[in-house]
Structure 1
Amino acid sequence: MKLYYSPGACSLAAHIILNEINVDFDLEKVDLKTHKTEKGADYYEVNPKGYVPALEINPGLILTENVAILPFLAQHDPKQDLIPPSGMGRAKVLEWLGYLNSELHDAYAVFFGAPLEGEAKEKAYKEVDRLLNYINRAIGESENEYLVDDNFGPADAYLFVLTNWSKSIGHDLSPYQNINAIRDKVAARQSVQIAMRDEGLIA
């Protein structure tokens, strides 16, 4: 398999899960401004949508979108710890992935387009906070160690990656103790440390 990624982008979640399942894979960095890969290929020929991640499963067989890629990879976990094979547990993973992808990802993403100023910027911060408040409260009301159960999974990786963007946009995560408790556990995982080093995010 090959993962097309951009350092620190949402493709980092797939990179983490690839490390978790301990499979052989290649990485190819994408410049999202020029839409060229590090090998000089036109990324639009890989993924016509133009953004990451894209997972090449076999030559010519490409899967895109985190809500598809992350469960696909997680189901290859030989211990079946990353995602339940069926039933309500699996449905809850997909529910969280859908929410993170359609709501939280979009709320952060507005900061990476045209510069925000004044009232528009404050409104964007409030939207991020509204969504984080919901997630923080949901974690606090649960007895689980992670978002879905007591096992780390793809939704936790995705939440970690998205909330990493708070630093880039000058947003304070400190009020969200329950989110930070999960973030700390995720950050300590070897799969995460390796992925972040490989992407040049940490030394």
Structure 2
Amino acid sequence: MKLYYSPGACSLSPHIALYEAGLPHTAVLASTKTHQLQDGTDYYSINPLGYVPVLELDSGERLREGPAIVQYIADQVPDKQLAPANGTLARYHLQEWLNFISSEIHKGFGPLFNPATPADYKPVAIERLQQRLQWLDGQLAHRDYLMGEQFTVADGYLFTVASWAPHVQVDTAGMANLQAFLQRVGARPAVQAALQAERQPT
């Protein structure tokens, strides 16, 4: 498998999932600025939408969109319990979390990274994000991970996007449960491996 990624982007989430799963893969750096691979290939020929992540399977088929990719990865190694079994209510709760993170947290950061966002709108975006993160902080009380005691691919996704907060002046310092979660997930060997891999592009 090949994972097309860009350092600091949401592609860290499936990168974490691949290391947690222990699946062999090749990480391919795809610049979100130049939209080119290191060999000069036009990244739009890989993903016409131009963004990461993309997971290319050994068959040559490709998957876009992080929440779909991480579920595919989890389903390759069911014994790792990175996602509950398909068809169970727990699986729908996982999808609930993945959708919430995607639509309410991930997309919420978008305007803060966009230099074209009007300055008077950014405080509105920050306040909305902080409200969502504050709610998450409450959900993380008395549990290690989003689904309880078991790490899942939703945790890797939340870790990825919530870690952007300090870079765009979103204050989470008072959210003790979220901070503990970020430290807990960040200390996992697979997360450290993914972070290290992205510091040293392959």
TM-score range, shorter chain: over 0.9
**Structure 2 CA distance for aligned equivalents of residues 138 and 115 of structure 1:** 33
1:22-72 C-alpha deviation (Å, 9 max, x unpaired)? 111001111112210122111111111110000001253000001200111
Structure 1 partner of 2:130 = 129
1:95 equivalenced with 2:102 (yes/no): no
1:155-196 C-alpha deviation (Å, 9 max, x unpaired)? 110110001111221222211111112111100001111111
Q: Quote how far apart the aligned CAs of 1:74 are.
A: 1.1
**Structure 2 CA distance for aligned equivalents of residues 118 and 29 of structure 1:** 32
CA contact (8 A) 2:54 2:65 kept: yes
Aligned-partner residue type, residue 58 of structure 2: N
CA contact (8 A) 1:17 1:154 kept: yes
Q: Quote how far apart the aligned CAs of 1:4 are.
A: 0.1
CA contact (8 A) 2:130 2:171 kept: no
Unaligned runs of 5+ in 1: none
**Structure 1 CA distance for aligned equivalents of residues 125 and 78 of structure 2:** 41
Larger mean CA deviation between 118-127 and 185-194 belongs to 118-127
Structure 2 partner of 1:68 = 68
After superposition, the CA RMSD in angstroms is 1.6
- What is the number of equivalent residue pairs in this alignment? 199
CA contact (8 A) 1:125 1:171 kept: yes
TM-score, normalising length: structure 2:
0.92
Structure 1 residues 197 and 80: alpha-carbon distance in aligned structure 2, compared to 1, 3 A threshold: closer
**Structure 1 CA distance for aligned equivalents of residues 122 and 114 of structure 2:** 12
1:117-176 C-alpha deviation (Å, 9 max, x unpaired)? 643221121011011122112222xx5321012111111101100011112212222111
Q: Quote how far apart the aligned CAs of 1:90 are.
A: 0.9
Q: Secondary structure at the match of 2:4?
A: strand
**Structure 1 CA distance for aligned equivalents of residues 196 and 106 of structure 2:** 23
CA contact (8 A) 2:56 2:62 kept: yes
Structure 2 partner of 1:146 = 145
Q: Secondary structure at the match of 1:58?
A: coil
Q: Secondary structure at the match of 2:96?
A: helix
Structure 2 partner of 1:157 = 156
Structure 2 partner of 1:8 = 8
CA contact (8 A) 1:21 1:78 kept: no
Aligned-partner residue type, residue 181 of structure 2: I
Structure 2 partner of 1:172 = 171
Unaligned runs of 5+ in 2: none
Q: Secondary structure at the match of 1:137?
A: helix
Larger mean CA deviation between 80-89 and 190-199 belongs to 80-89
Structure 1 partner of 2:84 = 84
**Structure 1 CA distance for aligned equivalents of residues 175 and 71 of structure 2:** 26
1:57-97 C-alpha deviation (Å, 9 max, x unpaired)? 12530000012001111122252421111311111111000
**Structure 2 CA distance for aligned equivalents of residues 3 and 113 of structure 1:** 25
Which stretches of structure 1, 4 residues or more, deviate above 6 A after TM superposition?
none
CA contact (8 A) 1:28 1:37 kept: yes
Structure 2 partner of 1:23 = 23
